[in-house]
Amino acid sequence: MVLSTHYTRLGVHPLASALEIRRAYRELSKRYHPDTTDLDPEVATRRFHELNEAYAVLSNPERRGMYDRTMGYSRFYVVRPPVDLRSGNSPQDYRSSAYIDSRDRPLSSGELFALFILGLTFMLCLGLAIAIAWLNPELIAPTLSLPPSP
C-alpha cells in the first residue's frame, strides 16, 4: 500500500518548488473538479477535496515546513535532480507566475536601504579606525626603549 501524502496527491516530489506545486494543482483541479469531470460525482468531490487540502498545506511555507517535519522530509543536504531541458516549459512561463524565487526578484527599497546603512556603517567604522591610528600611532606600534648598552 502506497502512503498517501499531500505530495503524492498532487503528483510532485517533496522538493518541488512552489511553482511546480501550483502547476500540478491547477492541472489536477481541472481534471477532478466535480462540474467538469466524467467521474462519479462522489469520487470527484472526494478527490477534489483532497487536492484542495494538499494544496492549502503545500502552498503555505509555514504549513509546508510543519508538514515536512511531521512526515520526516528534509529540505537540507539533498541534491535536486537536474531540470529536464527537453520539456516544453520555457523561461517565459516562469516569469508570468505569481510565485517568484527570492533569487530572481529585485531588492525592495527597504532591503536596499538596509544595505546602504550597512555599507555606510562599515565605512564609518573603517574611517574611525584609520583616524585613531593616524592621530595616536602609539596605540598601533608602541616604541620600544632599549636600555643603553655598556
Nearest 10 degrees: Cα torsion 111, 113, 119, 125: -120
Query: Where is average pLDDT lowest: 1-5, 89-93, 134-138?
Result: 89-93
What values do phi and psi take at 46, rounded to 5? -65, -45
Residue 5 is predicted with a pLDDT of 86
| pLDDT over 50 (residue 62) | yes
Q: Which CATH class is domain 6-71?
A: mainly alpha
> CB–CB of 74/84 below 8 Å?
no
Residue 86 is predicted with a pLDDT of 63
96-135 residue pLDDT tens: 455 555 666 788 899 999 999 999 999 999 999 999 888 9
> CB–CB of 46/34 below 8 Å?
no
| pLDDT over 90 (residue 88) | no
- pLDDT band for position 77 (50/70/90)? very low
Residue 23 is predicted with a pLDDT of 92
Q: Domain locations in the chain?
A: 6-71, 109-137
